[in-house]
Chain A
Amino acid sequence: MTAAGATPAPDGEATSSDGPILALDDIGKSYGNVHALRGVSLRVRQGEVTCVLGDNGAGKSTLIKIVAGLHDYSEGTMTLRGSVRRFASPRVAQAFGIATVYQDLALAPLMSVWRNFFLANEIRRGPFLDIPAMKRICAEELTKMGIVIPDLDRPVGSLSGGQRQVVAIARAIHFGAAVLILDEPTAALGVKQSGVVLKYIAKARDAGLGVIFITHNPHHAYLVGNHFIVLKLGQVALDAHRDELTLAQLTAEMAGGQELAELSHELRGAQPGKVVPPGDVTPGAVEAPELAPGEVAGMEDV
Chain B
Amino acid sequence: MTTVTATPADDRVATRSVAASFLGRPEIGALVGAVALATLFLLVAPAFRSVGNIGTILYGSSTIGIMAVAVALLMIGGEFDLSAGVAVTTSGLAAAHLAWYFSLNVWVGVAFALALALGIGAFNGWLLHVTGLPSFLVTLGTFFVLQGANLALTRLVAGGVSSNSLNDLDGFDGAKAVFASSFDLGPIEIKVPIAFWLVLTVVGGVVLLRTHYGSWIFAVGGDPAAARAVGVPVIATKVALFMTVGFCAWLLGMHNLFNYNNVQSGQGVGNEFIYIISSVIGGCLLTGGYGSVVGATVGALIFGMTQLGITYAGWDPDWFKTFLGIMLIAATLVNLQVKQKADAR
List residues of chain B with CB under 8 Å of any chain A CB: 1-2, 4, 6-10, 13-16, 21, 206, 210-212, 214-216, 218-219, 222-223, 225-233, 285, 289-290, 343
Q: Choose the segment among A72-80, A142-150, A220-228, A247-255 that binds chain B (4+ C-beta atoms closer than 8 Å).
A: A142-150
Judge whether A90 and B210 touch: CB under 8 Å.
no
List residues of chain A with CB under 8 Å of any chain B CB: 68, 70, 89-91, 94, 100, 102, 104-111, 115, 118-122, 124, 127-129, 131, 143-151, 153-155, 157-158, 163, 171, 196, 199, 203
Judge whether B289 and A111 touch: CB under 8 Å.
yes
CB-CB nearest in chain A for B4? A143
A284 shortest CB reach to chain B, Å: 37
Judge whether A111 and B228 touch: CB under 8 Å.
no
CB neighbours of B214 from chain A (8 A): 129
Judge whether A89 and B231 touch: CB under 8 Å.
yes
Judge whether A119 and B227 touch: CB under 8 Å.
yes
Task: Kindly state the separation between the CA atoms of A150 and B16 in the bound complex, as whole angstroms.
Answer: 9
Q: What 9 pairs between A and B have smallest CB-CB spacing? A: A108-B222, A122-B212, A120-B231, A91-B231, A106-B226, A106-B229, A146-B2, A148-B9, A108-B223
Judge whether B215 and A119 touch: CB under 8 Å.
yes
CB-CB nearest in chain A for B24? A153
Judge whether B227 and A108 touch: CB under 8 Å.
yes
18 A-B residue pairs with CB within 8 Å: A89-B228, A109-B223, A110-B290, A111-B222, A119-B232, A120-B232, A127-B211, A128-B206, A129-B211, A129-B215, A144-B1, A146-B7, A148-B4, A149-B13, A151-B13, A151-B15, A157-B343, A203-B1
A124-B211, A199-B2 are known; give 16 further A-B pairs, CB within 8 A: A90-B228, A94-B230, A105-B226, A108-B289, A109-B222, A111-B218, A119-B232, A120-B227, A120-B230, A120-B231, A128-B210, A144-B2, A145-B2, A148-B4, A148-B8, A151-B16
A154 shortest CB reach to chain B, Å: 7
Judge whether B10 and A147 touch: CB under 8 Å.
yes
Judge whether A121 and B231 touch: CB under 8 Å.
yes
Interface centre among A104, A120, A131 (most CB of B within 10 A): A120
Judge whether A150 and B14 touch: CB under 8 Å.
yes
A168 shortest CB reach to chain B, Å: 9
CB neighbours of A90 from chain B (8 A): 228-231
Task: Kindly state the separation between the CA atoms of A129 and B14 in the bound complex, as whole angstroms.
Answer: 27
CB-CB nearest in chain A for B224? A108
Judge whether A147 and B219 touch: CB under 8 Å.
no
Task: Kindly state the separation between the CA atoms of A11 and B290 in the bound complex, as whole angstroms.
Answer: 52
B212 shortest CB reach to chain A, Å: 4
The residue that A110 contacts in the complex, of B6, B15, B228, B289, with Cβ under 8 A, is B289
CB neighbours of B4 from chain A (8 A): 143, 148
